[in-house]
Amino acid sequence: MVEVAVSYASAGVRVQKKMIQRIVALVFKKERVAGGKISFVFVDDKTIRKINALYLGHASTTDVITFPIEPPPSLEAEIYINVEQARRQARLFCVTLTNEISRLVVHGVLHALGYDDKRTKQRKQMFDIQERYVRLSAGRLV
């Protein structure tokens, strides 16, 4: 069973919880994860910079930060998504905001499952998996 919580630490876009639940359930199914609990917090640039500096030692804005709490099989994680950065990336990549937020949800969940993107080879592998899941979550064929 997948348990998803959604909260907002800043004013901005409201994301449909059902959409996030559907995406998380898809990733869990494809990754063969039986269940878990993931909390999504939608934030702004200022908040993500604070989190990034305080917990990761980076003085920059980013799009998504994942804090794995428990690994599978009892997966638990907190995922922070920067809505302002998602808007900029949506414009940059000529996709809808919903599509970009879907991508960040998938990316965050993959990190919670143990995927890493620090090295070039890992980044490509994670990106390929991420984009496949984004396409599937949008209802398109792979």
* pLDDT value of position 142: 38
Furthest-apart CA pair in the chain: how many Å? Answer: 40
Domain 2-137 has CATH 3.40.390.30: yes
Q: Per residue of the chain (142 residues), give pLDDT as tens.
A: 889 999 998 767 788 899 999 999 999 999 999 999 999 999 999 999 999 999 999 989 999 999 999 988 889 999 999 999 999 999 999 999 999 999 999 999 999 999 999 899 999 999 999 999 999 998 643 3
Which sign, positive or negative, has the C-alpha torsion 132, 135, 139, 140? Answer: negative
Give pLDDT, residue 79: 98
Phi, psi for residue 66 in degrees, rounded to 5: -115, 135
Domain borders along the chain are: 2-137
The alpha-carbon radius of gyration of the chain (Å, integer) is 14
Give the helix/strand (H/E) hosting 8. Answer: strand 2-8
Using an 8 Å Cβ cutoff, are 59 and 45 in contact? no
SS3 141: coil
Q: Return the residue matching tokens 């907002």.
A: 8
**Residue 99 CB neighbour total at 10 angstroms:** 16
**Three-state secondary structure call for residue 40:** strand
For residue 103, give both structure tokens.
């991508």
Q: What is the pTM of this model?
A: 0.94
